Structure 1
Amino acid sequence: MRSSLLVAAILSTTAAAAIAQTAADKPKTAAAPSKTVQGQSVQGQTVQGQPAAAKANGPKIGTFGFDMAGRDTSVPPGDDFYQYASGTWEKNTQIPADRSTYGMFHVLQDLSREQTRTILEEQRRQPGSKSGDFYASFLDEATVNAKGVTPVQPWLTAIKNAPSKAALAEEAGRMQRRGVGTLFGMYVNQDDKDPETYAVVFSQSGLGLPDRDYYLNDDAKLAANRTAYQSYLTKMLTLAGEPNAEARAAAVVDMEKAIAAAHWTRVDSRDADKVYNKLTFEELNARAPGYDWAQYFEGAGIPTDAPMLVSQPSAFTGEAKVWAETPLPVLKDHLLLRTLSSYARFLPKEFDDTRFAFYGTELTGAPEQQARWKRGVDLASEHLGEDLGKAYVARYFPPESKAAADELVRNVIASMGERLKKLEWMAPETKQKALAKLAAFTPKIGYPDSWRDYTALEIRRDDLVGNVARANEFEFQRNIDKLGKPIDRGEWFMTPMTINAYANPTMNEIVFPAAILQPPFFDPKADPAINYGGIGAVIGHEISHHFDDQGRKYDVNGKLTDWWTEKDVAQFKTFTDRLVAQYDAYEPLPGQHVQGALTLGENIADLAGLVVAHDAYRLSLGGKKAPVIDGTTGDQRFYLGWGQVWRTKYREPILRQILLSDPHAPGMQRANIVRNLDAWYDTFGVRPGQKLYLTNEQRIRIW
């Protein structure tokens, strides 16, 4: 279970399961799609009418770290704080054609990608550089086009020639090693109830559309997506030279609809207790009869005596039933199409373009595919992230940035401790355990202490498909090899170039990659209020994930166990039920609301993170009054810093997808969580009758 700040459909509770399902069910797009910076200033861009170079000794954004021109002061903060802080930015910002959504995370993704590109271009000129050769193999589109479908043909032939379902299950295991999703997602993680032991964790999978609702909901938009999906599969089969493509694609869609009917909802799948189901291999066979488990394990190279956790047992029963009842030719086509879809990015242009037309334009609304170099940077970062990361931090993450971030983390952790000590609703014995858990936190800042060794990974400049397959197998085997070994507490699950952060309760750690420690989240030269409202609230967010509705179930040692009193749990639920209801009421699209239960963990983390970051900011002042800058008080700048990081614009298809399947609420609702904070009312003079106004009794205060 890893909970992240923004994993868009990119990381939530039971996030390890979500990550596995994403890898299996959603053919990979460029990991962090980039866009041209528009409407916001970051290094090298214009800052409030001044070239950034002219501000070399000052903050990168504005005069104190906030883009004042991006506000819309015609909107009272009490009516819509998001619009007050960001309305002009939103009005003036165009979503780049190669993006479906655009905001401050994407500004930093652009910057991180440009920085990484500089490194890769240098490495591309160095023979024998694995990252440089991998990048070069993706950029060499002429060679990719010339090879056609030949690089994947042996796999397709093996699938088509499988004489039985048992043989096909073995092929599915082999393809999973190469990064192709099958009926079941699989990864290795700590056993939640025995966190000193690694276990194989299985999760439901098998769908080519983003979520079960895309198959089962009668909404006209989703029905249109299903029709487009079937056309996409038809075209993929046609491009591969397969006959009867239309009928075969229709049969695969019908099969996936049956799988979707067996799937758990995302709300159920984020419940740490529900998804903890420890089974032996024999019990898995008994619980999900009809699937050829022994052959699948053989093909994937998974030891049958390994500890195993099955996240959604009834879904496995249902999926195995679908497997048993579906004719062998349809099962073959399902795996064939998942192979083509997974590797379409690395095949000739017509495959790549067809895949983007569906997964890019149809499902997210992005009109154009990103430039090949951008996708190449993302690909190299995905598969050789720590090789690149070592060079990235050496060049772009100075020791003073790490030291300043370390101090911020210490201050926010201390503020969370003070909040816990003063809680009136938590039993004293629970409070002591909570404080012990907080004291045992491991913060990881910037980059790992030791770097991953890629010596055994073979990369060839003229073999893109082979490079991707070998990199996937290398990572798959690296995870399998953890079984039976001591827990690697130094392991990172994000690269230093990633614009994100995460909490990992089985490790009792909070992790902040180097790349997010840049403006607008963090700027050592910005006013402290902006940093506390930006990265400080991010830090508070990740800390509080360890105490959200799922993270709270893990004790000081990272063990999933009951350590709260029944009264504590009941009281906590009264708060969280109200937060669910508050978010359920938001309607970003006509007829489509935020799912309060799905986004609960992230909303708790936003609420608590902002509160403890504000405490930390005030403590940092040392009893002194913050100066007035550009007519703003320190507290106003703190909340503006929060509002600035959630500036986000969405195209309608991706917003629909987020509302259906993402554990994070859209940016506007995340910014407006300030309506629950007493200090915000005082800071901006929010009055009864304004749209965000909540009475004292209506405000949700957890920590």
Structure 2
Amino acid sequence: MRDIKSTAGMWMRASAVVAVLAAGQVNAQNKPVPAFDKSSIDNSFKPCQDFDNYANGGWKKHNPIPGTESRWGAFNVLDKENKEVRLKGIINTITTKKNLVKGSEEQQIADFYKSYLDVATIEKLGLTPIQPYLLQIDAINNVQEWWKTAAELSKIGITNIFGVYVDADALDSKMNAVYGGQDGLSLGERSYYERQDESTQNVRKEFEQHVNKMFSLANWKDANPGKTVLDFETKLALLQLTNVELRDPVKTYNKVGVGELKTLAPDLDWLSYLSINGIKTDSVILQDKPYLGKVNNLLTSSDINTLKTYLRWQVLTHFAGALPAKFDTENFHFFATVMRGTKAQKPRLERAIRATDANLGMPLGKLFAEKYFPSSSKAKVSEMIENVRTVYGERIDQLTWMSDATKKEAHKKLAAFTYKIGYPDKWKDYSSINISANNLVQNLVNTALYNHNEAIAKVGKPVDKSEWLMTPQTVNAYYNPLNNEVVFPAGILQPPFFNPNADDAINYGGIIAVIGHEFTHGFDDQGSQYDANGNLQNWWTESDRKNFDALANRYIEYFNGIEALPGFKINGALTIGENIADLGGLTLAYYALEKSLKGKPAPALIDGHNWQQRFFLGWAQVWHANITDAALRNQIQTDPHAPARDRINGPLPHLVEFEHAWKCGPSDKMVLPAAQRVVIW
């Protein structure tokens, strides 16, 4: 399902290596939360055979996936709490106020929320709000006009075959530059268009039927629109790099002068494309230079009616959730039910909260942070971060596969790490966004245009390193290699990650492992290619890089052997960055905990578990989850994170500390022979 959100055609690059990190249960009354709920344990499983089901089997049995979800776990529970309880309370308070000042954040939040709930007006307007864009498409006569129209539509977030975004120049991370690359696939990833297994073929069949249904609901007369769009997107998909190839920051950095764009794709008017988007630049950094020529040939060899049908589809699917119920319902059926196995839509009220958050997340985040994240928490998390930094430095010194020369550079990068905690120190001004209470589509357009214009205003200017790429209420964390920074929003700094009621072992398995995870992203397969200043520059000796790659390749092969569903194995090359970060985060957190206990009496048993065991239980509980088969298939094909179960069980056999904690034997499934274990950081 595509959430209603304002995404400018000028994407903000996902330069941050984002780890989707689950968080544990809290409650609306803010009552103390148990450090570890022993009812989650299922003693019918043995920890050395299947740690996930041992630690979480009880929880899984008593927490089936709600009909409105495709997965249900600690992440979802806390996200629901943040959005549907905390943000709901904030929004409800605002909407009761009278005479809100036009352009104020409160007015924008209240009126956007009201526009989503104004179903009567949405039904009355029908397709009228998107008619101007449809008329633009109707007027297209040739490829050149199609290209310019696609450029116009990209400003309001409507996908086409080429996308541009603004981010720090990877070779000069202090300055912003324009990037360009592949886009335009409704199914999200190339594998959906080329896999021949029955379930993926069924997705394509359902997609074709979905497009046909949407066009029928709109009373459009395009011939065989489903087949037309699927065939076109299949050709497009086969021109694109795979999601694994896109992970290589060196191969996907190709700076060209604006004049060279014409040489690469001679039938496309690049000066007009950039001008329409308001971009003033003398160069563009391309993901894949050959892609432009391939796209040029695809467009010029395609029937103009095919291209118009594709563009109509992109407009319709982009706005579907803001249109009358028949479009919204059909959109949900395919993108939520078919693609992810979600059975029922959330109530409109809850979707209104989430839509408001998706479009006005920072203004809402300011209010969220004021109410739910005390300034005292920043100091505590800062202390934790510094503890992890210290242990990471000690781990670097102990590495046997890395030379002193490279260790020196690794220490330099580690020392240069910066961090952000909770919420931004300064807030953007959103007052120029015109939000009304009775036109949802126009509100989406206006927020998209704001994001677009805000992005292009950065081109050629110094990077604002204080900027956040996540809202404070987000249950997540990230590492940004271009800033060499780790970022922890307030939304994730709650139980069990940051739980003052938990014992140290549980907290170290939670928040400290998260901090270690994000630090390790700076030294994973991608992050390790950026230096202390955030520039894409090699700081390794040749032999050390070979050693690192050899270890990473062993870990790739290890995960390649894990079958998450029949016929669907984890893609070790796609998930390697997150897998390295999980392994590193666990290792750092364990030794940070051990270091904190030196010279102190051994912690007492709790519920029969020693501190080592509680540490691993702490890790397991933040990942407990149930997931539909459809969502799991989608995750395996598109997500750089391994499934939750394998983020628990996957790294543990490589940790001798886990084997010792649970007194596992050499024949147990959760144990690997010493020669097969991978230790990177």
Does residue 119 of structure 1 match 2:90? yes
1:316 CA displacement: 2.9
AA partner of residue 47 (structure 2): P
In 1, Cα distance between equivalents of 2:12 and 2:401: 31
Does residue 514 of structure 1 match 2:494? no
2:125 maps to 147
In 2, Cα distance between equivalents of 1:95 and 1:159: 42
Contact 2:222 2:309 in 1 (8 A): no
Does residue 552 of structure 1 match 2:528? yes
1:202 CA displacement: 1.3
Contact 2:15 2:482 in 1 (8 A): no
Contact 2:12 2:455 in 1 (8 A): no
AA partner of residue 262 (structure 1): L
1:628 CA displacement: 1.6
1:668 maps to 645
Contact 1:170 1:300 in 2 (8 A): no
2:144 maps to 166
In 2, Cα distance between equivalents of 1:189 and 1:453: 20
Contact 1:172 1:182 in 2 (8 A): yes
1:469 maps to 445
- For the aligned residue pairs, the C-alpha RMSD in angstroms reads 1.9
Q: Structure 2 residue aligned with 1:200, among 171, 178, 190?
A: 178
Contact 1:166 1:295 in 2 (8 A): no
Deviation string, structure 1 residues 443-480 (Cα, Å, up to 9, x no partner) = 11101110111011111111111110010010011010
Q: Which moved more, 1:318-327 or 1:269-278?
A: 318-327
In 2, Cα distance between equivalents of 1:643 and 1:385: 30
1:358 maps to 334
Contact 2:144 2:267 in 1 (8 A): no
Q: Structure 2 residue aligned with 1:292, among 269, 278, 281?
A: 269
| 3-state SS, counterpart of residue 186 of structure 1 | strand
Contact 1:540 1:613 in 2 (8 A): yes
Instruction: Quote the sequence identity (%).
Output: 39
Show the 5 A alignment for 1:613-632.
613-624=589-600, 625-632=602-609
Is the alpha carbon distance of 1:628 and 1:67 closer, same or farther for their aligned partners in structure 2, counting shifts above 3 Å?
same
Contact 1:200 1:306 in 2 (8 A): no
Does residue 259 of structure 1 match 2:236? yes
1:231 CA displacement: 1.2
AA partner of residue 120 (structure 1): I
AA partner of residue 86 (structure 1): N
Compute the TM-score of the two structures, normalised by the length of structure 2: 0.94
Does residue 478 of structure 1 match 2:454? yes
Contact 1:289 1:321 in 2 (8 A): no
Q: Which moved more, 1:453-462 or 1:376-385?
A: 376-385
Q: Which runs of 5+ in 2 are unaligned?
A: 1-10, 102-106
Contact 1:162 1:168 in 2 (8 A): yes
Deviation string, structure 1 residues 528-575 (Cα, Å, up to 9, x no partner) = 111110111111000000000110000011010111000101111121
1:95 maps to 65
| 3-state SS, counterpart of residue 431 of structure 1 | helix
1:578 maps to 554
Is the alpha carbon distance of 1:292 and 1:230 closer, same or farther for their aligned partners in structure 2, counting shifts above 3 Å?
farther
In 2, Cα distance between equivalents of 1:282 and 1:221: 45
In 1, Cα distance between equivalents of 2:15 and 2:109: 24
1:391 CA displacement: 0.5
| 3-state SS, counterpart of residue 75 of structure 1 | coil
Show the 5 A alignment for 1:265-664.
265-303=242-280, 305-624=281-600, 625-664=602-641
Deviation string, structure 1 residues 590-641 (Cα, Å, up to 9, x no partner) = 1110011110000000000110011111222342122221211111111101
In 2, Cα distance between equivalents of 1:525 and 1:102: 24
1:314 CA displacement: 2.5
Contact 1:277 1:309 in 2 (8 A): yes
1:17 CA displacement: 5.3
| 3-state SS, counterpart of residue 690 of structure 1 | coil
Contact 2:115 2:438 in 1 (8 A): yes
1:16 CA displacement: 6.6
AA partner of residue 184 (structure 2): G
In 1, Cα distance between equivalents of 2:293 and 2:492: 41
In 2, Cα distance between equivalents of 1:16 and 1:654: 26
AA partner of residue 666 (structure 1): P
In 1, Cα distance between equivalents of 2:469 and 2:388: 23
AA partner of residue 479 (structure 1): A
In 2, Cα distance between equivalents of 1:658 and 1:343: 24
Q: Which moved more, 1:638-647 or 1:409-418?
A: 409-418
1:6 maps to none
Does residue 73 of structure 1 match 2:50? no
Contact 1:171 1:296 in 2 (8 A): no
1:214 maps to 192
1:229 maps to 207
| 3-state SS, counterpart of residue 86 of structure 2 | helix
Contact 1:415 1:615 in 2 (8 A): yes
1:105 CA displacement: 0.6
AA partner of residue 360 (structure 1): A
| 3-state SS, counterpart of residue 201 of structure 2 | helix
Deviation string, structure 1 residues 167-211 (Cα, Å, up to 9, x no partner) = 221221121111111111221001111111111111211111121
Higher relative contact order (CA 8 A, sep 6+): 2
In 2, Cα distance between equivalents of 1:339 and 1:182: 10
AA partner of residue 220 (structure 1): E
| 3-state SS, counterpart of residue 178 of structure 2 | strand
In 1, Cα distance between equivalents of 2:293 and 2:489: 39
Q: Structure 2 residue aligned with 1:43, among 13, 16, 27?
A: 27
Deviation string, structure 1 residues 573-593 (Cα, Å, up to 9, x no partner) = 121111011101100101110
AA partner of residue 479 (structure 2): A
In 1, Cα distance between equivalents of 2:504 and 2:265: 55
Is the alpha carbon distance of 1:251 and 1:19 closer, same or farther for their aligned partners in structure 2, counting shifts above 3 Å?
farther
Q: Which moved more, 1:128-137 or 1:622-631?
A: 622-631
Contact 2:422 2:491 in 1 (8 A): yes
In 1, Cα distance between equivalents of 2:46 and 2:225: 57
1:425 CA displacement: 1.5
